[in-house]
Amino acid sequence: MDQLSYRRHRFPPPIIQHAIWLYLRFTLSYRDVEELLAERGLEVSYETVRRWVLKFGPGFARRLRRSRPRPSDRWHLDEMVVRIAKRMYLWRAVDHEGEVLDMLVQRRRDKRAALRLMRKLLRKRGFAPKLLTTDKLGSYGAAFRHLRLTCPHEQGLRANNRAENSHQAVRRRERKLQRFKSAASAQRFLNMHAAVHNNFNLQRHLVSRSTLRIFRAEAAAQWQDVVAAASGPTPPPALPSQRSLP
């Protein structure tokens, strides 16, 4: 597992980790995180928070994805419009429990774009779904036939509510960010956001309060394991230079 070093940072790792958690877990801007840290007596600029997220966020997301259990074999695929200087499409795949499987920001809404998403899913997951649910866009059916998948393909707007509802978190972040600035930055942020969302998506409306407390503690422990693994060994104290020697 690759190690991320916190050396040469002014603030200790717990503060860096907490700032990244706030930004990726909740619908906050960098300036909001700056205000929350300032309320606790920590003078951290929003630009510093942004650099922490860009440096450590992708590594945290990779570790979270590796620690997730295997998703279900019932997949929902959908696409949504995002405006990044011009009209683009965010293609997303989730399982029947709302686990985000993958996403791609693409310019087109055709068979080729659907094929890219489905091929990436099959390659990364290593297994084919037993049920594929989409809306009535013809590109899904064309890609389904091209890949010669044998599972049932269900099409219908209401049948795909699971994927439609999964867009809500992205829409909230898009409004908070006042739209994404580029396709690359959108893809990078959404990959991090999806990994954190999967870890803390507890389906609270389906479980009792006592079970929710257990799930919440497990999610927090998983996050702490991930960021602790990224901390690496504590570096030894620096030796004095020759100029400082008497």
pLDDT per position as a tens digit, 118-127: 999 999 999 9
Q: What's the CA gap between 59 and 66, in Å, rounded?
A: 11
pTM, 2 dp:
0.86
Q: Which domain holds residue 83?
A: 74-181
Helices assigned H by DSSP within 177-237 = 183-200, 209-231
Return the pLDDT at 3.
Answer: 66
Look at residue 128 and tell me if it is in a domain.
Answer: yes
Amino acid at 71: P
pLDDT per position as a tens digit, 1-28: 456 678 888 899 999 999 999 999 999 9
User: CATH code at 99?
Assistant: 3.30.420.10
Asked whether residue 88 falls in the same domain as residue 151, the answer is: yes
Buried b / exposed e across 23-47, counting CB within 10 Å, b at 16+?
bbeeebbbebbbebbeeeeeebebe
